Chains A and B, each alone.
Chain A
Amino acid sequence: GENVEQHPSTLSVQEGDSAVIKCTYSDSASNYFPWYKQELGKRPQLIIDIRSNVGEKKDQRIAVTLNKTAKHFSLHITETQPEDSAVYFCAVGSGNTGKLIFGQGTTLQVKP
């Protein structure tokens, strides 16, 4: 089955700096790559996603890049703010079952 590896497990940056989180996957048939943000004790919420026919997608300070050949994708957050502090999960999906396989998560701390 699909295997998703996410790095780093923790990331600490100064406010205003950029943060990058990377994920690799194993199944070349995977075609959907979302990123979720989870604040402490709350549910994961979708922040951005990308499909396999697109190499990059941007939404304000957040961007995702996909390299299908290398089977990895990354989340980029620019001009980080303290409210960006949370756990971020990448996920991989394919087919019509819609199931998503998640990475282990990255705890991002933005220091004011």
Chain B
Amino acid sequence: AQSVTQLGSHVSVSEGALVLLRCNYSSSVPPYLFWYVQYPNQGLQLLLKYTSAATLVKGINGFEAEFKKSETSFHLTKPSAHMSDAAEYFCAVSDKGGSEKLVFGKGTKLTVNP
């Protein structure tokens, strides 16, 4: 069964600083991996996804993530934080072509300080 662990339920950075949100996954088969963002009082929107092509994935709003199979990680980064990045971020894993279950992490709330 798949599982996702997001390290740090809250992360705080200064505007202009590096954003690093950590995600480790567990899957018995090659996974699909996703990062979603949720702004206050809104639904989730897809930031980026890994579906077994390039291991470095670029997403919207300057975010990127690197799939590292040896570390079972899919950390999300952005070189320079902007105030508008303040939101909650969710990592998710699905069983590629398998059970169709989709498992989300518990989320990391990002605060950006001026």
Q: Check if A and B associate.
A: no
Which chain A residues have a beta carbon within 8 Å of chain B's beta carbons?
none
